[in-house]
Chains A and B, each alone.
Chain A
Amino acid sequence: MVLRLLHRAMVFVLSVLAASVLVFAFMRVLPGDPARVALGINASDASVAALREQFGLDRPVVVQYLDWMRGMLTLDPGIEFISKAAIGPQIADRLQVTLILVTTSMILAVLVAVPVGIWMAVRHRHVDGVVMSAASQVGVAIPAFLAGIVLISVFAVRLRWVPSGGWAVPAQDPVGFLQRLVLPSIALAGVQAAVLARYVRSAVLDVLREDYLRTARAKGLRPVQALWRHGLRNAAVPVVTVLGLQLATLLVGAVVIERVFVIPGLGSLLLDSVAQREILTVQTVVMVLVVATLLITFLVDALYLLIDPRLRTGSR
């Protein structure tokens, strides 16, 4: 088991390294010069060159890469070109917002998807099970940003129940915070819940067909009891995998949702920085997302070992 974990950890580190090279290289080939964006369309070549030097963009790319990596490892990726604001604290601020949004959405999605998925599986031969199953299929097809736009126009613009967007700091304005969290969380959780519910359904259906469940029934357990005592733990393995992958897509989906709802999270920072060609900020934000995604995958792997005793024995 330790060997297996070590192996996973090494894959994790190598993936992060490879990703950093890719992200760095991609930002170098992206058209558009940060210095020219800062100086305006009539800037002379001499002043653009001077500013590139000030930004440190005239140095060899290897030096720039190593400098950036060192900055990230020491948790101080430097300052922004234009605003001169420190990048680290900015990302930390924005990350909090995004994490609140993503976590809320994930919890919401699980709370909806697990009972609904089990229901759909248990009742898969009944009308209600089929209807729910069809509804979840439709849900899978609705993109989060569309759900967001619809939710805003109904609940914010028409009914005036909640604000149409923005953000409030929870400690300063808890009510405003919750009001602003509701719609984006639902928009983000919607698709996830639909996808997840389908996985839960098929996982439970698989388990229901297993011999050990029939045996449990034969012992005299009622279907729900049998599922509860013997089925769910086994059904959880594939669901946890999907959950991990979905957490990663949620992080990325939040980028779009933050824009629709004017939420100052990591996504809006990323989009602003791309427009301004704040290369360092973009690179660092993308790496934060990459590390988060890889970390989730790693943790899911580790979780397997806890859930599934079969994996704990042999080294592979």
Chain B
Amino acid sequence: MMGRMRTSTTTRSLVAAVAATALLAGCNAGAGTSGSPDGGSEDGSGSADEGGDGDAGQTGGTASGGSDETVRVGLVAEPASLDFTTTDGAAIPQLLLDNVYETLVTVDVETGEIVPALATDWEVSEDRLTYTFTLEEGVTFSDGSEFTAEDAAFSLERVSSDAWTISLKSQLDVVESAEAVDDTTLEVTLSRPSNSFLYALTTRVGAMFDTEGVDNLAEEAVGTGPYTFGTWDRGSQITLERNPDYHGEAPYFATVEMRYFQDANALNNAMLTDAIDVVSTVQAPESLAEFEGGDFQIVEGTTNGEVVLSMNQQEGNPLADPALREAVRHAIDHQALLDTCWAGRGELIGSMVPPTDPWYEDRTGDFPFDAARAEELIAEAGAEGTELRLRIPTLPYAVSCGTVVESMLEDVGLEVTIDELEFPAAWLETVFTTKDFDMSIVAHVEPRDMANVFGSPDYYTTYGTEQVQTLFEEADTGTEEEQVTKLQEAAALISEDAAADFLFLLPNLMVADPDITGLPTNAIKESFDLGDLARE
């Protein structure tokens, strides 16, 4: 239901995004369908290696099914390390989770449901404190050792030890113990019932490590996944090789080259010149124009990335006044904003829940665009001309939408000053840690993060009322049905209290060669799942 897919195949069209191109607009309109610059293969020829450009020549020698082809995936953020237990950031799990490391359970990206992975089955006790997982037999790690319940218990218990340092480890605080009953049975005991526990296992904290394979996580990755870690050319690419002993269906591609581009234009150019086969995330939707009508498929799916306009409501700040926050929500014409700053791609949400979560409700009607009402609220609060500092990170969506928010708020009589702060370091320090801001714009991309983002007054969103905290607690400890209703109530409360404004939900935009199949359309997991990727 979510994955709209559009494929277009006419002749290649040309660059448009950069200003420079405008200068050349008159020069040439037919770059044509000629081959790649190195005289390499043409699209769809299905040859052994599309990468005729020299350094792409490593085809895997271990053909245990599938082809011996290489696929080249372009991404933007290179990991700083391979160790997601001590280094935060999306790039590491994007690369390694589900591809190299697997989890007991995972999320079906089409339905949003939790489905088996390394655990074939699981039972929950009556009091919902004990989870008994039955593990798949005959699974081995890439170093040859067998994956048993011992490894699973070790991996889960390790999360709460000092070995893990990233803040996300707190997701498994609820685990009291994890024990191997026998080789294929794992029993996990919780300190209290928790609905978020099973979901947490689908994320990086649920990754299964080899008891013998955690000595040098920064540079080595030993897992059970469809791929094994290959080589790393720092600053340019990381390769993954097909795992010849994979317990599931062997992936089609023998080698995956994950190529990293710091610059979005460079990434697009690489795609236009056939130097890569897939653009994992299109950074700016305007640039899709370069690929439309060309020999490419454009895939648009959904994400968990709620673009949140946060409002600092600590005492003493102008936005501590709920009327002013309501005015801000009324002042923003969300559809116009989405059309202007994100090329109309993405969805309007109205609260902190993406449509792929079971407790989603359409809340876009809570504060409809109404400039007159906004001006009225501002006048009643005596807040005409209030100065607000909109301190945004230097990220494409924030920069592009920040100016639209600025002009919409100034239309109703507020004074907005935009500060761009380098992301992550400077933004984290100023907005997140010291809370020296009135408003900010950032996309919260972690799955099911409503309680994290709005559950504590100490968090930078400065909301976390007692009422909403109670709802979150009841949702986590109650039955599954209660979880849904309580979280719906929480989402409604957050919206009605104008705890923040929800600009839109980021779309997942990918571009690929037309014959590539199995792309993860919806980016609602932490991983970029390469397992199903194939070439027709």
Contact = CB atoms under 8 A, between A and B. Distances in A.
Interface string B356-370: 000000000000000
Interface stretch (A16-24, A158-166, A303-311): A158-166
B55 interface: yes
Interface in A140-181: 146, 149-150, 152-154, 156-169, 172-173, 175-176, 179
Interface string B217-255: 011000000000000011110000000000000000000
A90 B234 contact: yes
A164 B426 contact: no
A173 B54 contact: yes
A80 to B, nearest CB: 8
Nearest to B36: A160
A85 B80 CA distance: 10
Interface string A28-58: 0011111011111111100100110000000
Contacts of A153: 14-15, 18, 20-21, 24, 269
Interface stretch (B26-34, B194-202, B295-303, B410-418): B26-34
A82 B429 contact: no
A146 B24 CA distance: 13
B81 A163 contact: no
A201 interface: no
Contacts of B236: 166-167, 262, 264
Contacts of A167: 236
Nearest to B425: A32
A163 B166 contact: no
Interface centre among A39, A175, A271, A277 (most CB of B within 10 A): A39
Contacts of A199: none
Nearest to B90: A40
Contacts, number: 184
A165 B266 contact: yes
A259 interface: yes
Nearest to A97: B235
A90 B428 CA distance: 28
B265 interface: yes
A261 interface: yes
Given A176-B38, A176-B55, A262-B270, A31 B429 contact: yes
Given A149-B265, A168-B55, A179 B165 contact: no
Contacts of B27: 154, 158
Interface in A229-285: 259-262, 264, 268-269, 271-272, 275-278
Contact of A262 (B167, B263, B425): B263
A33 B429 CA distance: 7
B54 A149 contact: no
A161 B37 contact: yes
A160 B39 CA distance: 9
Interface in B386-439: 422, 424-426, 428-430, 432-433
B452 interface: yes
Given A38-B86, A41-B167, A166-B270, A262 B261 contact: yes
A214 interface: no
B163 interface: no
Given A149-B18, A153-B24, A40 B433 contact: no
B24 A179 contact: no
A146 B22 CA distance: 12
Contact of B270 (A32, A149, A165, A268): A165
B183 interface: no
Given A158-B31, A272-B78, A42 B167 contact: yes
Contacts of B21: 149, 153
A33 B433 CA distance: 10
B165 A39 contact: yes
A8 interface: no
B85 to A, nearest CB: 11
Interface in B1-35: 14-15, 18, 20-21, 23-24, 27-28, 31, 34-35
A272 B428 contact: no
Interface string A66-100: 00000000000000101111000010011000000
Contacts of A172: 54-55
B218 A32 contact: no
Given A83-B80, A154-B24, A154-B27, A36 B266 contact: no
A276 B79 CA distance: 10
A271 B167 CA distance: 26
B88 interface: yes
A167 B53 CA distance: 10
A40 B20 contact: no
B262 A163 contact: no
A158 B54 contact: no
A34 B428 CA distance: 11
Nearest to A145: B20
B220 to A, nearest CB: 11
Given A153-B15, A264-B236, A276-B80, A36 B24 contact: no
B189 interface: no
Interface in B268-286: 269-270, 272-273, 275
Interface in A104-158: 146, 149-150, 152-154, 156-158
B117 interface: no
Nearest to A159: B31
A23 B372 CA distance: 53
A163 B334 CA distance: 40
Contacts of B87: 38-39, 82
Given A43-B166, A163-B53, A165-B270, A83 B81 contact: yes
B89 interface: yes
Given A161-B37, A165-B266, A260-B263, A50 B275 contact: no
A43 B78 contact: no
Interface string A284-296: 0000000000000
Interface in B45-86: 53-55, 78, 80-81, 86
B168 interface: yes
Contacts of A276: 80
16 contacts: A32-B428, A33-B428, A33-B433, A38-B80, A39-B87, A39-B167, A41-B432, A51-B165, A150-B24, A153-B24, A154-B24, A157-B269, A157-B273, A164-B270, A172-B55, A268-B262
Give the 5 A-B residue pairs with the shortest CB-CB distance, closest first: A32-B425, A40-B88, A176-B54, A264-B235, A42-B167
Given A41-B428, A41-B432, A82-B81, 8 more contacts: A41-B424, A84-B81, A153-B269, A154-B24, A158-B27, A166-B55, A259-B263, A262-B266
